[in-house]
Chain A
Amino acid sequence: MKLTISLINLSVVFFYLIILSDESSPSPPSDSFLGIPPQGTSACPGGKFFCKNVGHSPLLYSSRVNDGICDCCDGSDEYDGKVKCPNTCNKAGKVAIESLKRKIEVYQEGVALRKQEIEQAKRAIVRDKAELSALEKEREAVGKLVSQLTELVRKLEQEHQEKNEDEKIEAQNEKVENEKSGPEENADSQIEPMKTSEVEKQWQSNDSPSDQNEKDGDESSEGLSREELGQLVASRWTGKMTGVQVKEIDQAKNDQENGGRDAGYKESEADNASHQSWLNKIQETAQNFLNLFSAPVANLDANQIRKEYDDYTAKLSDIDSRISSLTGKFKHDFGKENEFYLFYDRCFELEQDKYVYKVCPFKDAKQKGGYSETLLGNWVEFGNSYRLMLFTDGDVCWNGPDRHLKVKLRCGLKTELTGMDEPSRCEYAALMYTPILCLDEKLEEFKQKLESMNQVQEQGLNHDEL
């Protein structure tokens, strides 16, 4: 669909092209109606102009031709003579080449770093997978052990029952108490729920027009100092909360947070290196207990058994949580070559203005300032072919959207967060450099571009000498 018309104007020795974009008329108007020179620019929407621009990039909107502003580095866009444009192509070309060269250097090093990163990621995956399978074995063993211990404990208790009535009663009491204390930890369910109807009433009374208006006025503003009233009215436009409003919202927010978001991220860190010996030890212990089973109950050390029981039940739950965390981890998408695998346990911080931003890929992003912490978003996914990290559903914005964050990824030699921005209120955008984005294909592309730029530059120089 692209129509290309080229004209050559020998007297000024340059050429340009008018490219009609796909949007233009389905039946292209004849060139004569484009208002093309002798003394004009394209009047076609979407028209493009090629600077001769020896030594530098050429494409330009036709709206820039003969507008009194030098756009092409060779000044070829200003050919009506109203302004004189110095030829800066050589300089601009050199600058462009230099900057491209620097880019290539970064990429060359970056590509190598990226490979290392992928290697490391691969190793980490192997290690994690090994850990997971070890954990599964361990779980089996410990699970067995725990069920045996449970049996032993049961036996012991039977023994005690027969032996001593008093002790039996005591033991029962203890059990009852344990059961009782369990649910109590869940404090939330014990708190009286807020009565919606009362809240409603409160707000309605503030909102309803007062009947005896001249005398009474409105209670919500009447009780306020002049300063508070000013702030309250200002807050309608700014969305900045006044003291009164902050209190209300904070209260509500705390309530919400007690509801248990964020609970999932606490992990028990298992020590990878000592796994093998642990397993051996468990097996040993299990053997010991097997031996114990054959012994008469009377010979057993009841206290020790109970302790072992407690220890191994705890151990079992640790293992379970570690397994679930690893399985959870493997569910994530770490990129085509799992190149982002090592990001999983990493957080990146940035200090900017009065805040510290903490971005934890696959988890969440936060803004800390003073004593307060704001959730900018929870991890969602990569976007834009792994060039973007997306976090959404952050803390609610007063009078605005829920906070969210987009982190753009760029090639760099160090993995670091470099800029945090809030283009619209509560919509955050950050930039992060990392070698992972230093792709081989891009490097090749830049190299080719450099080559062609060098060629043009040389031609230009030769031309200038003529």
Chain B
Amino acid sequence: MKRIAFFFLLFLASQTVHSWKKDEFRACDQTPFCKRARFRKPGSCTLIATDVSISDGDLTAKLVPKAQQDHDQDPIKPLTLSVSVYQDGILRLKIDEDPSLDPPKKRFQVPDVILPEFESKKLWLQSASTEKLDGNIAGLSSVVYLSDGYEAVLRHDPFEVYVREKAGNRRVVSLNSHGLFDFEQLRVKKEDEDWEERFRGHTDTRPYGPQSISFDVSFYESDFVYGIPEHASSFALKPTRGPGVEESEPYRLFNLDVFEYVHDSPFGIYGSIPFMVSHGKSGKSSGFFWLNAAEMQIDVLAKGWDAEDGILMPIDQNRIDTFWMTEAGIVDTFFFIGPGPKDVVKQYMSVTGLPAMPQLFSTAYHQCRWNYRDEEDVENVDSKFDEHDIPYDVLWLDIEHTDGKRYFTWDKLLFPHPEEMQRKLAAKGRHMVTIVDPHIKRDDSFDLHKDASQRGYYVKDATGKDFDGWCWPGSSSYPDVLNPEIRSWWSEKFSYKNYVGSTPSLYIWNDMNEPSVFNGPEVTMPRDVLHLGGVEHRELHNAYGYYFHMATADGLVKRGDGKDRPFVLSRAFFAGSQRYGAVWTGDNSADWDHLRVSVPMILSLGLTGMSFSGADVGGFFGNPEPELLVRWYQLGAYYPFFRGHAHHDTKRREPWLFGERNTALMRDAIRIRYTLLPYFYTLFREANVTGVPVVRPLWMEFPSDEAAFSNDEAFMVGNSLLVQGIYETRAKHASVYLPGKESWYDLRTGTAYKGGKTHKLEVSEESIPAFQRAGTIVPRKDRFRRSSTQMMHDPFTLVIALNTFQEAEGELYLDDGKSFDFKQGAYIHRRFVFSNGHLTSSNVASSPLGNSKFSSDCIIERIIILGYTPGAKTALVEPGNHKAEIELGPLGFGGQHGGGAAVTIRKPGVRVAEDWKIKIL
């Protein structure tokens, strides 16, 4: 009986341990601003725009209540509104309290997110035209130019801002069309008021009282909306309110360290990007971004939600309405007109910046575990990769490598020779990553803490003392990274001198930067904690991790004298984090649902700028069965960021621990990534130049293919490859939708499949469905090496997939893989075009700015042509007019069986850096 009781107790204990503690986090109806806002009725906004004029190149106005107010209410002061227009079809709408009217406090505007050069893209408005809308009594509107064919409109009464296409007067994006706009102005507390908020034993003093903002945003020509990460849910955002929607929370944007998050929930997790993209049947996309770092809640409204509110909306345009609520800050919003999906992404990036060009090694495979115990363990794992001939590039050390969770230190017993350890890895071209979190152990013998506290660099609690929270090291404080001076101080800590035991092959991982505070409300920092200039934590919470990531990345740049690209992985993120490095989807679980949800999560991140992202392969919590682990490697090989990671309670799961067969399968999966590294690196460069993400939704490449709009099982890697995971155990078949009109070639067998169809395919354990799109050329490197470093001089293979016109094209980008010289033009960028039986290679790089040039002696050793009628025997190579053999050869993709046969030009002997032409005779 006792024993039963004991096991029962254990069972219950483990149950409580292994579940998302939903009630520890605030639901909307426990969050006063959200609860209030959700109760608002359409049309309740009475603000009208007055004093509309052009000033300093902006369209400006004051927002005042239309009706006389009740006498017992606080007087509503006029708000200031400005509409600015920027190049490439971007409208910026700002609404704030009028500083000249002496508000009790300046409302927070998020600094250092918008690119400095963005301001230079501003178009100075000269004039606004006024128009009167028929059928509307008070319908005066001011209209300004936005871009060719587009206008921005400010309707005065009631106030509404929207963007429209001139032709056909078709709307694109609008704000306050439903009159849900509300702006709680800061005011002095009345005697009988209680502003405090209490949640599970935590008290938020809220010294400045209510200050929330909410409004509705509508997207036109829209069937789906996407974006606003980070949530573990479907890619196309499901409605959270309205007809047919069960009781649902809004999508929450609040950076939180959620223990064992669930795989299908609008709940907020580690990062926040308040950027939404809409897409519809017309093939057009538009976007909306709200630069605000306070807690945000967003409802996606189901069609018909406004059936009874009597507000007239254009009915000939498919529309999706959304409702945005935030606790503090100002309205600083951006409307992006598209019209293509890639245009929207580019427009967003011109505001928040392009993704950083990563180190080549960081685009390869990473091996992580909490924790590799000691130097011997590291050496052993490293040598096992070699023993099993599995390539990897980076070995990671989690928190246990430190001396008592004091970052920048080493456990002297476990890691007595960190430099030698790193040098041993570096000798094989491998790198190491160590973890550096923002919580600093409050220990007077710890120099970092002494330094920070003496300088007053910690965030302060509501009483003005250094905030003292609990995290891994126990009692901890957090640097105030909102402050540029403190960020600069932090970045110095990464110098080789300050970070004792670090070497040039060491890079950094920022975890827990939401920030995670174990004894704080919702496991984070109290909202009344104070930052630079009296800014409350509530106002910048979602950007804390961003500033920390920024300071760390800057530290690595400084460490390398500005010559070495940083690599910093962060868990928390905000709009703009793409400029500083990679992110991953945090502490996922080893189950099939989490494997499945990793795809929409990565798609959402890519769409909103975070091109370099991935999920922990294998799942962080729990022990994956070997089949799941293998499937995860097969899918993870196509994530932009490819890392295996595991919790310290899990069994060891390095790829060689599950029998020979599984080792071979995981080796093949990892090798696929290495084979495709030249293609991935080219895509990272594309993202770095255009913002178009490495991993994309199908509809980004096929904007008019409706069947692709809500598909988040499959994804595109660049414009050429389509990949779909296998998300269930013992799968025999998979239904794969291949979009577009052209064919698709199975990467392993070369078999062609028709586009625009769902194919029921047989599935083996050896691979997941992956296809090359007809009309594309993919560069590969087929020689297996220990790590990407040794592949530098290896020859290339080109895989040409011909379309119905027997044509194809593709690109290849190459540079030194690590320095910033590419910014001076030290790179090779080639375009390959196949048409009329000729393959030509031409330069698409702009000429170098300085003296730095990148050269490569790499050759092309093999050209595989899919979809070419066999028969040709030789090819003629120009210049030089020498002949190369053509025969049927293996596709050579995906390891064990080498794949099917295809027309192959052997040893054409051309250099990748040069112009040439190959004619098939």
Contacts and interface: CB of A to CB of B under 8 A. Distances in A.
Given A199-B8, A206-B16, A214 B198 contact: yes
**Looking at chain A, what size class is its interface with the partner chain?**
35 or more
Contact of B5 (A233, A252, A422): A252
B664 A193 contact: no
Interface string B460-472: 0000000001111
Interface stretch (A35-43, A85-93, A118-126): A35-43
A61 B784 CA distance: 9
B5 A229 contact: no
Interface of B: 1-6, 8-10, 12-14, 16-17, 22-24, 30, 197-202, 259, 373, 377, 386, 389, 391, 413, 427-429, 469-472, 474-475, 517-519, 523, 587, 647-652, 664, 667-668, 671, 782-786, 789-790, 792-793, 795, 861-862, 887, 889-890, 892, 895-898, 904, 906
Can you list the 9 inter-chain pairs with the closest CB atoms, starting with the nearest?
A230-B470, A217-B200, A230-B519, A193-B1, A67-B790, A233-B518, A194-B5, A209-B23, A252-B6
A431 to B, nearest CB: 12
Interface string A34-55: 0100001111011000000000
B889 A45 contact: no
6 contacts: A29-B889, A64-B786, A218-B200, A226-B470, A230-B469, A399-B649
A256 interface: yes
Contacts of A229: 470, 518-519
Interface string A223-253: 0001101111110111100000100110011
A403 B906 CA distance: 57
Given A195-B5, A214-B197, 8 more contacts: A25-B898, A43-B783, A68-B789, A200-B8, A210-B23, A217-B199, A230-B470, A234-B471
Interface in A53-69: 61-64, 66-69
Contacts of B202: 217
Interface of A: 23-26, 29, 32-33, 35, 40-43, 45-46, 61-64, 66-69, 82, 188, 191, 193-196, 199-200, 203, 206-207, 209-210, 213-215, 217-218, 221-222, 226-227, 229-234, 236-239, 245, 248-249, 252-253, 255-256, 258-259, 353, 396-397, 399-401, 422-425, 427
B389 A221 contact: no
A214 B887 CA distance: 74
A239 B649 contact: yes
A58 B197 CA distance: 72
Contacts of B517: 230
B130 to A, nearest CB: 49
Contacts of B896: 23-24, 45
B764 to A, nearest CB: 15
Contacts of A424: 650-652
B790 A230 contact: no
A76 B896 CA distance: 27
Contact of A82 (B650, B793, B861): B793
Given A67-B786, A233-B519, A61 B389 contact: yes
Contacts of B786: 63-64, 67, 69
A255 B200 contact: no
Contacts of B518: 229-234
Contacts of B650: 424-425
A213 B889 contact: no
A400 to B, nearest CB: 5
B16 A35 contact: no
A69 B647 contact: no
Nearest to A422: B373
Contacts of A210: 23
Contacts of B4: 196
Given A206-B16, A259-B3, A67 B199 contact: no
B201 A217 contact: yes
Contacts of A40: 783, 795, 861
B474 A255 contact: no
A62 to B, nearest CB: 8
B8 A196 contact: yes
B198 A217 contact: yes
A46 to B, nearest CB: 8
Contact of A33 (B12, B475, B523, B889): B889
Interface centre among A67, A215, A397 (most CB of B within 10 A): A67
Given A25-B898, A215-B198, A218-B200, A233 B523 contact: yes
Contacts of B667: 45
